[in-house]
Every structure is written in C-alpha cells, then in structure tokens.
Amino acid sequence: MSCSPPRTINSLVKPIREHLGHKLARHAGDDAFRRAFLAEVAEAAGRDFAAAPDTCFAAVRQAQLDVLGDLVAAHLDRAALSQLIREGPPAGLPVIHPAGAVV
C-alpha cells in the first residue's frame, strides 16, 4: 500500500484562503472592505500585498469592460459570430486534439 506524505494544516488551508480571498474580493461592493480583506488574506498566505488606497473597483471594472467593448467593436466579425452561435460550426472542420491526447 502506498501512502502519500502527511500534509500540514497550512498546506491544506492555504489554497482555500487564496481562492476565498479572490472570490470575496471580486464580489464585495465596498472598496474599504475589499482592501482590508485582501490585506488579511495576503498576510495569511504569507504574501506582501497592499491595495492602493484610492482604487475604485467599480471604475476599474467599467474601464476594462469599455476596453473589451471597443476591441469587440473594432476587431470581431460580429455577423460571423452571430451566425456561429445560431447555426453552430461549419461541417468538415479539422479537429485539433489537446497536446498529449491519445487519438
């Protein structure tokens, strides 16, 4: 019988803390709460992090969405994408298998 080496509590909890920190910080609407929470999570994870005191998450997110919208408008063939969504991919396209896949 093969057993895995024992894991410490910190090695088990650390990924949960990091995941939880990302999820809560992303969805919390209060910037002060977000900064305090991220500081706590960073400290618990042993990372050096301090959020900028003047960061407004809603403004940053809106700016990113504006850039994405501009990129879509400028570079995406929206008619072709709509057709792809409605009708699915054209028949006969080659299949590209993931690296290492056994075909």
- pLDDT tens per residue, range 5-49: 555 555 656 677 677 766 665 666 678 877 887 888 888 888 898
Q: What pLDDT, on the 0 to 100 scale, is given for residue 7? A: 55
Q: Which of left, alpha, beta for 100 (phi over 0: left; psi -120 to 50: alpha)?
A: left
| Amino acid at residue number 82 | S
pLDDT of residue 57: 83
What CA–CA distances, in Å, run from 26 to 20, 36, 77, 85, 94?
10, 13, 31, 29, 38
In the chain, % of residues over pLDDT 90: 31
CA-CA distance, 61 to 83, in Å (whole number)?
A: 29
